[in-house]
Structure 1
Amino acid sequence: MALSPAQRHNQRIAMQRQLARNESVNSTDSLHVQLQELETDITYLRTLQTIADRVVHKRTSLLPRWRPTVEAYLASGQVYANPVFAWCIIWLFDVGELETALEWADVAIDQHQATPDRLRSNFPTFVADTVLAWAQESAGRGESVEPYFSQTFERVASRWRLHEEVTAKWFKFAGLQLLRSEENQINAASVDDVERLEKADRLLATAEKYYAKVGVTTARRNIAARIRKLAQG
């Protein structure tokens, strides 16, 4: 869910107040100077034409430059609107450093950090969308989605208030994963475990409850047919 204009305004006010408190600090590490340098880096990043070039630049230049700043911020125990922290989380996801990205995202969510205006969504939504997209691609290649899928699914299911369609997609993916065959195909007929089939159906039913158009009708019908067949021996 995108922040409302009022919420973004409040974030800007908070940042301006922090800047005002830092104006007296005659240091190149002041937040004011950091924000100027950060904006310069972001502007340059947007001039790179390919996604691959941007990922390389984030991994080899931006994160090595800004990670120590974030680590110092986290170690200080202070809490204030911190765009450097926000951008580093996004870059960590972009370069595939999911462990640190998720760890820092949890902190950012607890601190009610705002995402950059360009993102147009809050951190829980950004993380949910990003990790689900990663899980879908990884599963499609036959790769493990753990531990990051389960770690994030727990938050989606019980902690974060997300748009119903976002939550539904997570329950749908979790249910379909239980139907994945050794050939890496979603196929209820390949599953011989009734309990597994029933668990998959519960997850898909929950997805449908959150968002009726999530698209699980056929999968649930196939599960029911498979359970009937197994019951008949």
Structure 2
Amino acid sequence: MSLSPAQRHNQRIAMEQKLKQSLAVGTTESMHLLIKALETDVEQLRNLPLIADRVEHKRNVLLPKWVPTVEAYLASGQVYANPVLAWCVIWLFDVGDLDKALDWADIAITQQQATPERLRSNFPTFVADTMLAWAQESAGRGESIEPYFSRTFENVATKWRLHEQVTAKWYKFAGLQLLCGDDGQKSAASVDDIDTLKKADKLLAIAEQHYSKAGVSTQRQTIAARIRRLEKELKDGNSNQV
């Protein structure tokens, strides 16, 4: 006896629901076992006394062990609370694998994944704080901070809802970076381009708008004085040519 189109449709819906329920049960059971194993690994990691040992353990033991689990989760197309993904994102930042860390952090944020309780911040704040600290250290050593800085700054500026003070720190750093001379010092006196100075001042102004105690007033006054001097020199030079 053949089924009508409506009956076939209802049968397909019933089968899909049954499959989803089976997957949900299997996922719940699997995640329970994974979480127990993950918690054991996290506790063992905390027992390592040296930061260097912890970083090495994350790079050589934990990530090789858990990354395939996250890759399988991402390939499945399912979305559910996944502490394995959360911890792997954190460990990737810790070991300096910024490409994968930022890629997976974007996914975690899109999926609204929670960070581990001990972190005490959500993923946008964690990534913003972590990448700003990295950029400050790297720039201080004279190393390039691109493309990672611009990628994260765009999220800070346009996508993530962060505490005003966190956002202000990013704008302040971005503005001061434009004042960085060949000697590594950040000073308006080392900049001869008026447009660059104005761009830096705009970034510092936005920092001040987000957080009034951002500590940029002195820099902005120095920039304004530098712009006036350069404009005067430009005007005097044009007058002499005439």
Same fold, TM-score > 0.5, yes or no:
yes
Distance 2:127 2:98 in 1: 10
Which amino acid counterpart does residue 92 of structure 1 have in structure 2? L
Distance 1:222 1:74 in 2: 50
Which amino acid counterpart does residue 96 of structure 1 have in structure 2? G
TM-score w.r.t. the length of structure 2 is: 0.85
Tell me how far 1:24 sits from its aligned partner: 7.9
Tell me how far 1:218 sits from its aligned partner: 1.1
The percentage of counterpart residues that share the same residue type is 69
| Alignment RMSD (CA, Å) | 1.7
Which amino acid counterpart does residue 193 of structure 1 have in structure 2? D
Which amino acid counterpart does residue 26 of structure 2 have in structure 1? N
Tell me how far 1:22 sits from its aligned partner: 3.0
Higher relative contact order (CA 8 A, sep 6+): 1
Q: Which runs of 5+ in 1 are unaligned?
A: 1-18
Q: Which runs of 5+ in 2 are unaligned?
A: 1-22, 234-242
Query: What secondary structure sits across from 1:212 in the alignment?
Result: coil
CA 1:225–1:22: 2 relative to 1, 3 Å: same
Tell me how far 1:23 sits from its aligned partner: 7.4
Cα pair 1:22 1:32 within 8 Å, conserved: no
Equivalent residues in 2 for 1:38-53 (5 A)?
38-53=38-53
Query: What secondary structure sits across from 1:214 in the alignment?
Result: coil
**1:22 alignment partner in structure 2:** 26
TM-score w.r.t. the length of structure 1 is: 0.89
Which amino acid counterpart does residue 76 of structure 2 have in structure 1? S
Query: What secondary structure sits across from 1:33 in the alignment?
Result: helix
Tell me how far 1:20 sits from its aligned partner: 7.6
Cα pair 1:45 1:57 within 8 Å, conserved: yes
Q: How many residues align?
A: 213
Distance 2:181 2:79 in 1: 47
**1:63 alignment partner in structure 2:** 63
CA 1:148–1:23: 2 relative to 1, 3 Å: closer
**1:138 alignment partner in structure 2:** 138
Query: What secondary structure sits across from 2:41 in the alignment?
Result: helix
Alignment of 1:189 onto 2:189: yes
Q: Which has the larger radius of gyration?
A: 2
Equivalent residues in 2 for 1:47-126 (5 A)?
47-126=47-126
Query: What secondary structure sits across from 2:112 in the alignment?
Result: coil
CA 1:195–1:24: 2 relative to 1, 3 Å: closer
Distance 1:130 1:169 in 2: 12
**2:220 alignment partner in structure 1:** 220
CA 1:107–1:232: 2 relative to 1, 3 Å: same
